[in-house]
Amino acid sequence: MRKIWTGAGATGLAIFAAPARAHLASTGFGDFYDGIAHVLITPEDLLVVIAAALLAGQRGTAAARLAALALPLAWLVGGLVGTRWQLMSTQPLLTTSTFVLAGLMVALDRRLNVAAVVTVAVIAGLLHGLANGPTMTPAGIGVQGLIGAISAVGVLTLLLSSQIAALTRDWHRIAVRVAGSWIAASGLLMFGWLYQSAT
Amino acid sequence: MKTTPFSLFLRTAALLVALTPALALAHQEAGQATGLLAGLTHPVSGMDHLLAMVAVGLWGAVLGQPAIWVLPVAFPLMMALGGLMGLLGFPLPGVEIGIAASAIVLGAVVLTEQRPPLMLATLITAMFAIFHGHAHGAELPEGASALTYSLGFVISTGLLHAVGILIGTVHGRQFGRKVVRAAGGGVAIAGLFFMWKALA
């Protein structure tokens, strides 16, 4: 009962959270924390982390461990390159494709080997890092912000994928597949919005 | 700690709410909260969409495993495909008629407890999903984030399936079976009304 009240209290506090008055995401605690916040409030980034973590978790602990390393490292490399690179016009299409693909694979529960999961994580990390670099630099949160962002990516991937890998009940694994289908479906719709905004 | 469906539901709800603080003032990512809330409320604002979604869950519950989860996984994906078609400008004649037909057919199959092969059941729901996506998936409010709107729309649709599945869990009992069939009948009758409106 106490847990329910605690949960209800936390939910209430979350509902009445103060607005984020920021250029990119300003926490007031410095660039590192701004980078963390950026990942948490950017749906494209958050969705790809969730999708990659679900995919890695579905494929077991080995895939989960490697993905938790590969995704943030690739994100860092992409981000560092991105700080010196203009955002490509196709970048949103590419970043959306990553979570659509990962979400679809989660929904289909494909029996991918560990190398394939790591490849997905690396591609996703590189593309989202490349998108983060050019958006963070003008906002003045640069490399420290990038390190904050990849810390958030790493922790989220590790926490989520390890939880998913530990699931044993059938309906838990079905819930993961449903979540994958929701992510993929949102991305499919996003393709349409990108097309509309481009025309 | 034992994880019950209720505690998992509470945690998921808390996480979803935590992801929706007022973020609309961020320069780069404007309109996220507006988009998510608009997406979440859109499917429940139209009775045609709402009843058909619940009927998908009801039918899944009537069919049992694996349809109980295959239909709710297939539906949002195909609905998004329909939305994508709408956004890309692919014409789909008779969308409103298709939506009304979805309520009639899905309600009727629940009422009569039809048990076709899984592939056929999936094809039927997927076909109707395209109509729902085409009609509803492309209605982005001004200033709202497209991705969070899409996410909210898909999540809300999924939760409506879950409502149908939850109602459908009573199907195993004598009285519950009548309740589920009656709910299907109600959806079918509402579908006839939507059809009359679509054709008028």
Q: Is residue A32 part of a domain?
A: no
| Ramachandran area for residue A38 (φ above 0: left; ψ -120 to 50: alpha; else beta) | alpha
Q: What is the pLDDT of residue B92?
A: 87
Chain B residues near residue A185 by CB distance under 8 angstroms: 76-77, 79-80, 150, 154
CB contact under 8 A, A19 and B21: yes
Q: Is residue B13 part of a domain?
A: no
Chain A residues near residue B25 by CB distance under 8 angstroms: 19-22
Q: What letter would DSSP give residue B140?
A: P
Question: Is B164's Cβ below 8 Å from some Cβ in A?
Answer: no
Q: Is residue B9 part of a domain?
A: no
Q: Is residue A178 part of a domain?
A: yes
Q: Is residue A123 part of a domain?
A: yes
Mean local confidence (pLDDT), B181-189: 94
* Of A14, A46, A196, Cβ closest to residue B87: A196
- A20 has a pLDDT exceeding 50: no
Q: Is residue B17 part of a domain?
A: no
Give how many domains chain B has, as a whole number: 1
Candidates A180, A134, A179, A126; CA nearest to A150 is A126
Digit-coded pLDDT (tens) for B102-151: 999 999 999 999 899 999 999 999 999 999 999 876 676 776 788 888 99
Tokens 């929701």: give the residue: A182
Q: Is residue A144 part of a domain?
A: yes
Q: What is the pLDDT of residue A4?
A: 60
Candidates A71, A193, A143, A23; CA nearest to B139 is A193
Q: Is residue A31 part of a domain?
A: no
* Of B14, B25, B84, Cβ closest to residue A10: B14
Q: Is residue B108 part of a domain?
A: yes
The range of the structural domain enclosing residue B103 comes to: 54-199
The range of the structural domain enclosing residue A173 comes to: 39-198
Contact call for residues B97 and B185 (beta carbons, < 8 A): no
Candidates B33, B82, B136; CA nearest to A188 is B82
Q: Is residue A28 part of a domain?
A: no
Mean local confidence (pLDDT), B40-53: 88
Question: Is B76's Cβ below 8 Å from some Cβ in A?
Answer: yes
Q: Is residue A18 part of a domain?
A: no
Q: Is residue A33 part of a domain?
A: no
Give how many domains chain A has, as a whole number: 1
CB contact under 8 A, A23 and B27: yes
Question: Is B117's Cβ below 8 Å from some Cβ in A?
Answer: no
CB contact under 8 A, A186 and B80: yes
What is the pLDDT confidence band of residue B5, given thresholds at 50, 70 and 90?
A: low
Q: Is residue B87 part of a domain?
A: yes
Q: Is residue B135 part of a domain?
A: yes
* Of B13, B72, B88, Cβ closest to residue A11: B13
